[in-house]
Amino acid sequence: MSDWDWSPDERRRLAAFLEAHAVTSGEVTTKPIGDGHSNLTFLVTDAAGRQTVVRRPPPPPTPPGAHDMLREARLIGALGETAVPVARLLATAEAGEVIDVHFYVMGFASGPVVTTHTPAPLDRPETRRRIGETLVDTLADLHAVDWRAAGLADFGRPEGFNARHRASLARLVADADGSPPPHFAQVDAWLQANVPPESGTAIVHNDYRIGNVVLSEERPGEIAAVLDWELATLGDPLFDLGYFLASVPGEEPYNPTERFGLAMLEDGYPGRQELAERYAARTGADLGELGWHTTLALWKLAVLYEYGHRRALRGVGDPYYADQRLVQSFLEDAHRSAGLPPPPPAPNPEESR
């Protein structure tokens, strides 16, 4: 987790900015919320108890084109007019306007974020079941959004999304000659050899899971807001479904993303198969290529964790990613999803830098 925090002077400038936008009044306090392994999120409170949320990129260095908070703000502003539950966009700030990076301000969605267990009063089996159903229904609602009418026609390049998505991620960890690292090679080859045509075009969240939604306490079983839109784009909706299903814990040992959703092992939550069938019933989607997308999702997580691992070894990234076993757990699950034998072990740390 990043240890970045607001200095007293930055906090004063933030308070002035928020007051100018009629969000808060007077001095404010800031408190980090969320897991802090990507963009940084702060709960901001003024003396009167008014609360808002500020999201900013992590401290540099960051990959080119990543962590674009203003792009994320544009999306949640557009989704605010749809059936998809999102926090209300309140303000945006350019780099240098308040701090050295851009950020945006959104309303505070009150309610629990569920990861390892479901808290009372939402912990009844029938409520857990409704939460699971609402999760997949909300994903279907997102994929039904008319992205052109929402003004998002330029938000991504959906043509050739599947092959391009795999290729762009592969470059993050490729060797100097463009080849994948040895422990990535077999599943990478399988993905390349089996790229399906796009099933359609939709807004895809790209990190949709139970830990990225705020649940409603007033309306048990419903979602107050979907969070963390930083990776969203236009693409194949089956990838979003595959990623979501991959986040639902299967068999032990659990990979890191499954561990962020262990609550879904509790009595009442629907399993992967039932969730997939409900999505198909809601959308009419053909799930014939879902296995490829689930494998891609697991491989993608391995790539992102490997990228974070290399940065951590260089002392410029989040230390959370230093453990190579996190990468290997995703690769093992990707191989299992694709029906491949287990992957080879990773090279030693010097070779993986």
Task: Reduce the secondary structure of 268-287 to three states and give it as a string.
Answer: CCCCHHHHHHHHHHHHCCCC
Q: How confident is the model at residue 353, as a pLDDT?
A: 45
Give pLDDT tens digits for 67-89. 589 999 999 999 999 999 999 99
225 neighbors 214 (Cβ within 8 angstroms):
yes
Instruction: Find all residues with CB under 8 Å of 86, minimum gap 6, and list them.
Output: 76, 79, 80, 225, 226, 229
In a 3-state reduction of DSSP, which class is residue 159? coil
Same domain, 228 and 318: yes
Same domain, 75 and 201: no
Examine the fold and report which residue of 107, 141, 175 is the final residue of a domain before the chain moves on. Answer: 107
Answer whether residue 131 shows pLDDT above 60.
yes
Same domain, 145 and 231: yes
Answer whether residue 159 shows pLDDT above 90.
yes
267 neighbors 128 (Cβ within 8 angstroms):
yes
Examine the fold and report which residue of 78, 107, 136 is the final residue of a domain before the chain moves on. Answer: 107
**61 prior amide bond cis, ω within 30:** yes
Q: How confident is the model at residue 197, as a pLDDT?
A: 97
Residue-number span of the structural domain to which 50 is assigned: 8-107
Percent of the chain with pLDDT over 90: 87
End-to-end CA distance of the chain: 21
Phi, psi (deg, nearest 5) at residue 142: -60, -45
Banded pLDDT at 350 (limits 50, 70, 90): low
Q: Which two tokens stand for residue 352?
A: 């993986």
Residues 7, 35, 147, 233, CA torsion sign: positive
Closest CA to 107 of 182, 54, 28: 54
Banded pLDDT at 276 (limits 50, 70, 90): very high
Same domain, 146 and 292: yes
* Number of domains making up the chain: 2
In a 3-state reduction of DSSP, which class is residue 201? coil
Average pLDDT on 239-267 reads 97
Answer whether residue 119 shows pLDDT above 60.
yes
Same domain, 102 and 235: no
Average pLDDT on 273-279 reads 98
40-46 and 51-56 beta bridge pairing: antiparallel
Same domain, 327 and 226: yes
206 neighbors 233 (Cβ within 8 angstroms):
yes
Distance of CA 145 to the CA centre of its chain: 19
Answer whether residue 349 shows pLDDT above 60.
no
